[in-house]
Structure 1
Amino acid sequence: MEEYSDKVMDHFAHPRNTGVIENPSGEATVGNPTCGDLMTFYIDVDDNDVIRDVKFKTFGCGAAIATSSMITEIAVGKTVDEAYKITRKDVAYDLDGLPKIKMHCSNLASDALRAAIDDYRAKKAKKEENA
């Protein structure tokens, strides 16, 4: 059995950026029916398309919580275009690796972030269309 890195254990035991952003710029929920993990991500984006804040709520295994926590740390301060390019490999690398059987968790975290960015972009386009 593969072991979790100290970073994974730290992000699981002490997750960063948990919670909800009221009136978020973008929000999305994604899940994996196979393993039962469910993540909701909230992003706050400034007028220059820079992510000011990311919060999450995750129901799932330790790796799902750790990857959610880590991706929020990676995304804050990046533009939405930069954050959209964060891959599951980036998340796993920053966590000093994940067991192969848990790589789908980092995939889910990056999917959730991208979906929240998609929601933000759709809201922004609608706002510009109505301006």
Structure 2
Amino acid sequence: MNQYSETFLDHYKRPRNLGDLVDSDAVAIVHNEVCGDVLRIAIAVEPDAEAERRRIIAIRFKAYGCAATIAVASVISEMVVGKRVADIDGIDNDDVVAALDGLPAGRIHAVVLGRTALREAIAWLS
């Protein structure tokens, strides 16, 4: 039996929003000192909206690490496009794990890395 869901494997094998975002409004690069994974996230937001009402209009990532880091970054990128920046903090580890239809406990570090990168990118917008 495979420890990863079909959804996880799909995001790992065919990551969404992989690559560079030329006209990004914010970029964050985070790394996990324990396993060595590195994640770079770039986001673009609505240019004319009030700060608290801005929505993420584009996101791209580059991941250097395990399959979980790639799959998590991919699913997070799908989860946040179209959402208001102010609502992003409401996404927690359980939401990301649920979006992947499960994740082994030993891979939660990838969720933490993904959420940290997203939060750091959003912090640059302030």
Given the alignment, which residue of 81, 86, 102 partners 1:81?
86
Alignment of 1:51-130 (within 5 A): 51-121=56-126
CA distance in 1, matches of 2:9, 2:104: 13
Aligned to 2:40: 40
Aligned-pair distance for 1:23?
3.3
- What amino acid maps onto 1:11 in structure 2? H
Aligned to 1:127: none
Aligned-pair distance for 1:2?
7.0
Aligned-pair distance for 1:21?
1.0
CA distance in 1, matches of 2:65, 2:96: 17
Classify the secondary structure of the residue corresponding to 2:91. coil
CA distance in 2, matches of 1:2, 1:86: 27
Aligned to 2:20: 20
Where structure 2 has 5 or more consecutive residues not aligned to the other structure, the ranges are none
Where structure 1 has 5 or more consecutive residues not aligned to the other structure, the ranges are 122-131
CA distance in 2, matches of 1:54, 1:80: 12
- What amino acid maps onto 1:27 in structure 2? V
- What amino acid maps onto 1:20 in structure 2? D
CA distance in 2, matches of 1:71, 1:118: 17
Aligned-pair distance for 1:102?
0.1
CA distance in 1, matches of 2:28, 2:2: 31
Q: What is the Cα-based RMSD across aligned positions, in Å?
A: 1.3
Larger radius of gyration: 1
TM-score by structure 1 length?
0.88
Classify the secondary structure of the residue corresponding to 1:34. coil
CA distance in 2, matches of 1:68, 1:88: 12
Mark the CA change 1:103 to 1:2 in structure 2 (over 3 Å): closer, same or farther.
farther
CA distance in 1, matches of 2:125, 2:42: 10
CA distance in 2, matches of 1:2, 1:92: 16
Confirm or deny: 8 A CA contact 1:64 1:105 kept in the other structure.
yes
Paired residues in the alignment total: 121
